[in-house]
Amino acid sequence: MADAAAALERPHLRGHPSAERPQMLAVGVMIWLGSEFMFFSGLFAAFFTIRANAKVWPPPGTHLDTYQALVFTFVLLASSPTMQFAVWAQEKGQFQKAKAWIIVSLILGTAFLANQAYEWKTLPFRPRTNAYGSLFYIMSGLHGLHVALGLVAMIALLGRLAGSKGDPGETAVFQAVSYYWHFVDIVWIGLFSALFLLS
């Protein structure tokens, strides 16, 4: 589908091998996400090293509301398909539909962040309490930062939809943001498993 859209945008290249290639921006973002993957790997390495060195895990006094977090995990995961629907709509030129799906994703992402803020405010432990607290706040905080940047990117996409239609680079931008958003969602599955389920 992405290839077809790329070919549509570059009619003079139809049939030429380069028209079949995915867009450079989208590929560049994919490569960059590889480095983001390594970034979170470093955090997970710290988590599992500290967990392996601990006598009791999690340390006594750690109380988490796993069910509430699970609900908002599904909220965040639901925003991945809605973002993808936005990209598919944009590729077909249905800009109103694309805009609606982005607003839905934006709301879901904001709800997730709001829950995280609530958790941070109400949890009984702090980063300086113990190593588990440090890991919890650093890992969820860095992930939350990524979610927030994704929301900013979605607002930028809305701005882009408000302008002139059919900008040839536009599909690539939508794809790039969606790749990033899927990545952020998948990382959360790992973080949720580590911080809530393994604790």
Partner 1 sequence: MTTLVTRPEAVVEPPEEAHGPSGLVKWITSTDHKVIGRSYTITAFLFFLVAGSMAIIIRTQLASPDNTIVSQHVYNELFTMHGSVMLYLFAGPFAFGGLANFIVPLQIGAPDMAFPRLNALSYWLYLSGGIIMLLGFVTTSGAADFGWVAYAPLSNSINTPGAGPDMWIVALVLTGFSAIFTGVNICATVFYLRAPGLTMFRMSIFTWNMLVTAILILIAFPVLTAALVMLWCDRHIGSHIFTVAGGGVPVLWQNLFWFFGHPEVYILALPYFGAVTDVLAVFSRKPVFGYKGMIFATIAIAALSTSVWAHHMFTTGTVLLPFFSIMSYLIAVPTGIKFFNWIGTMWRGSITFNTPMLFAVGFLVVFLFGGVTGIFLASPPVDFAMHDTYFVVAHFHEVLFGTVVFGGFSALTYWYPKYTGRMLNDFLGKISFWLMFIGFWVTFVPQYLLGEAGMPRRIAEYLPNMGWTTLNRVSTAGAYMLFLSVAVMLVNFVEAWRRPIPAGDNPWDAHTLEWATSSPPPHHNFYWIPPIRSERPVWDHYHPEHPVEREHPPRTGGDEVAAARSTARPDSRAQFGSAATARGSVNPEGPSHEPRAAGDPGDDHEGQS
Residues near partner 1, by CB under 8 A: 13, 16, 18, 21, 24-25, 27-28, 31-32, 34-43, 45-46, 49-50, 53-54, 59, 127-135, 137-138, 142
Question: In whole angstroms, how close is the CB of 158 to partner 1 at the nearest point?
Answer: 22
Of 84 and 134, the one with the shorter C-beta distance to partner 1 is 134
What CA–CA distance (Å, rounded) separates 199 from 195?
6
Question: In whole angstroms, how close is the CB of 121 to partner 1 at the nearest point?
Answer: 16
What CA–CA distance (Å, rounded) separates 144 from 139?
8
**By three-state DSSP, how is residue 93 classified?**
coil
Residue located via tokens 């389920």: 197
Residue located via tokens 């560049």: 28
Of 58 and 109, the one with the shorter C-beta distance to partner 1 is 58
Question: In whole angstroms, how close is the CB of 47 to partner 1 at the nearest point?
Answer: 10
Of 25 and 103, the one with the shorter C-beta distance to partner 1 is 25
Of 53 and 96, the one with the shorter C-beta distance to partner 1 is 53
Could you give the angle at which helices 170-192 and 2-9 cross, rounded to 10 degrees? 160
The set of residues, in sequence order, having a beta carbon less than 8 Å from that of 56 and lying 6+ positions away, is none
Residue 197 CA, chain-centre distance (Å), reads 20
The string of DSSP letters for 128-178 reads TT-HHHHHHHHHHHHHHHHHHHHHHHHHHHHHHHHS-TT-TTHHHHHHHHH
Of 100 and 131, the one with the shorter C-beta distance to partner 1 is 131
Question: In whole angstroms, how close is the CB of 185 to partner 1 at the nearest point?
Answer: 19
Question: In whole angstroms, how close is the CB of 37 to partner 1 at the nearest point?
Answer: 8
Tokens of 88: 């598919």
Question: In whole angstroms, how close is the CB of 41 to partner 1 at the nearest point?
Answer: 7
